Amino acid sequence: MVMDHVTTLECTICGAEYDPEQVIYTCPEHEGVAGILEVKYDYDVIAENFDADLDGDIRSQWKYAAFLPVDDDAEPVTLNEGGTDLFDAPNLSEALGVETLVKDDGRNPTGCFKDRASSIAVTKAKHAGRDIITCASTGNAAASLSGYAARGGLDCRIFVPGDAPEGKLAQPLVYGADVLAVDGTYDEAYDLSVEVTEEYGWYNRNAAINPFQVEGKRTVGHELAEQSVVRGEVPDWVVFSMGDGCTIAGAWKGFREFYELGHVEDTPKMLGVQAEGASAIHDAFHKHDDTDDLADTIADSIAVGRPRNTLKACRALEESGGASLLVSDDEILEAEKLLGSTEGIYSEPAGATPVAGVETALAEGVIDSDETVVVTSTGFGLKDTASAKQATADAHRIPPHLEAVQELFGTSAE
């Protein structure tokens, strides 16, 4: 096995270093899974191996294989994740009052950007000869992992909170996973999955504790950097919703890498958005000590009470000169409707949360109206139609007669 470009796994708390060829999830010096590890690279090796054209033609995230922590001889398990469009959004820009672009990551193979990470996790597990892979999830990570496990021929066992949306429970079942719907919260499902990993030795893809799989999320940053090169402009802000905080941290790391390697001339500020009912990262970033571990929001993908990656997320916000803020569930639902009706992009609530964040950031003077903003839609709307219905008016229920239509729209002669 060779990963010449990976130098070490470094503890984000105490700085201890571990051998990347061993399967270590977290630094044993700290209680529980607190000691999150960070993958460190030799960028000379990466630069030598990365010779792709930054021409905006991105078939999948494996264009950036030189950056990914998999062995040279590992066969990627892929469904062409990544390579998502960065759309101009003139109608949305006008509605918001600021130039806005949409990175549409809801178009990934299972309908969510987590596919970027699942592809790495299953590739590594398969290459290491594992045949059972597991994770805990608010829903999307489970659906995503199940799809990639099926693709890679691995068994998948997943832990989700019992109240996850129906669509997100149906998806992993179709992909053939064993779905364990835990009678409890996401945080409880998470703890159970970690306990089970220790007991059975299954390969655990949990975003925060598995230091490798989160590295796939860097590719959204690589793509945004490449797409900035093609557009000739780096956005002032890139906006993500935050649950565990891995996504915004990964995206920042990816963008920063391209900047440090000289591929792009500037970096954006990262704006992290959480729901009022699940605000732990925001509270930590603003050093509020009155935080609780409640997770009460309609945006189930970011309903995380005890985020596992608060440290990495806060570093991304800090290093980029960014900010964090909170939005209400009503604002999230409004944003879902706004994004859909202005641009034809249908996001689940957590995917529309960045749009709500931009509105708040403008109102609070965090974002200026002459700046450029990228909102990342992280998940596709059809995963959760029940919450969408709360954002929209009902269908017009009519009898099958012309008169009924005329009653609504008037007669054609009018």
- State the residues that interact with ligand PLP by CB under 6 A: 112, 114, 140, 207, 241-247, 301-302, 348, 350-351, 378-379
Closer residue to ligand PLP, CB minimum distance, 5 or 312? 312
Report 6-25 residues binding Zn ion (CB under 5 A): 11, 13-14, 16
C-alpha span between 189 and 266 (Å, rounded): 40
- 290 CB-contact burial (10 Å; exposed 0-12 / middle 13-18 / buried 19+): exposed
Asked if 221 interacts with Zn ion (CB under 5 A), we say no
Which distant-in-sequence residues (6+ apart) come within 8 Å of 255 by Cβ? Answer: 221, 222, 224, 225, 238, 264, 267, 268
CA 354 to chain centre: 12
From the list ligand PLP, Zn ion, none, pick the one residue 27 interacts with, judged by a Cβ distance below 5 to 8 Å according to partner type: Zn ion
Q: Which is nearer to ligand PLP, 54 or 238 (CB)?
A: 238
243 binds, among ligand PLP, Zn ion, none (CB under 5 to 8 A by kind): ligand PLP
- In 73-131, which ranges are E strands? 86-88, 99-104
35 binds, among ligand PLP, Zn ion, none (CB under 5 to 8 A by kind): Zn ion
- The residue written with tokens 């549409």 in the block is 104
What is the rounded CA–CA span in Å between residue 329 and residue 353?
A: 9
Question: Which residue number, 140 or 320, has a Cβ lying nearer to ligand PLP?
Answer: 140
User: How far is residue 136 from each of residues 49, 157, 197, 339, 395, measured CA to CA in Å?
Assistant: 34, 9, 11, 29, 36
H/E stretch holding 313 reads helix 310-319
Q: How far is the CB of 125 from ligand PLP (least distance, A)?
A: 20
Q: State in angstroms the smallest separation of the CB of 297 from ligand PLP.
A: 11
Per the CB < 8 A criterion, the answer to whether 141 and 383 are in contact is no
Tell whether residue 29 is a contact of Zn ion (CB under 5 A). yes
Q: Does 194 bind Zn ion (CB under 5 A)?
A: no
Nearer to ligand PLP, 61 or 301 (CB): 301
| Helix, strand, coil % in the chain, rounded to nearest 5 | 40, 15, 40
- Partner from ligand PLP, Zn ion, none binding residue 300, C-beta < 5-8 Å depending on class: none
Nearer to ligand PLP, 5 or 139 (CB): 139
Residue 301: contacted member of ligand PLP, Zn ion, none (CB under 5 to 8 Å, by partner type)? ligand PLP
User: Can you point out the beta strands (E) in 259-381?
Assistant: 269-275, 323-327, 372-377
Would you say 89 or 350 has its CB closer to ligand PLP?
Answer: 350
The nearest distance, CB 386 to ligand PLP, in angstroms, is 15
CB of 330 vs Zn ion, minimal distance in Å: 41
Nearest approach in angstroms of CB 199 to ligand PLP is: 25
CB of 387 to ligand PLP, least distance (A): 12
Quote the CA–CA distance of 323 and 271 in Å, as a whole number: 5
Examine residue 66 and tell whether it contacts Zn ion (CB under 5 A): no
Kindly tell me which of 36 and 299 has the beta carbon lying closer to Zn ion.
36
Residue of 333, 376, 348 whose CA lies nearest to 164: 348
Q: How far is the CB of 139 from ligand PLP (least distance, A)?
A: 7
E strands in 37-154: 37-41, 86-88, 99-104, 132-136
Q: Rg of the chain's alpha carbons, rounded to an integer?
A: 21
Of the two residues 207 and 361, which places its CB atom closer to ligand PLP in the complex? 207
Would you say 74 or 135 has its CB closer to ligand PLP?
Answer: 135
Shortest Cβ 366–ligand PLP spacing (Å)? 19
Give me the residues that bind Zn ion (CB under 5 A), please.
Answer: 11, 13-14, 16, 27, 29, 35
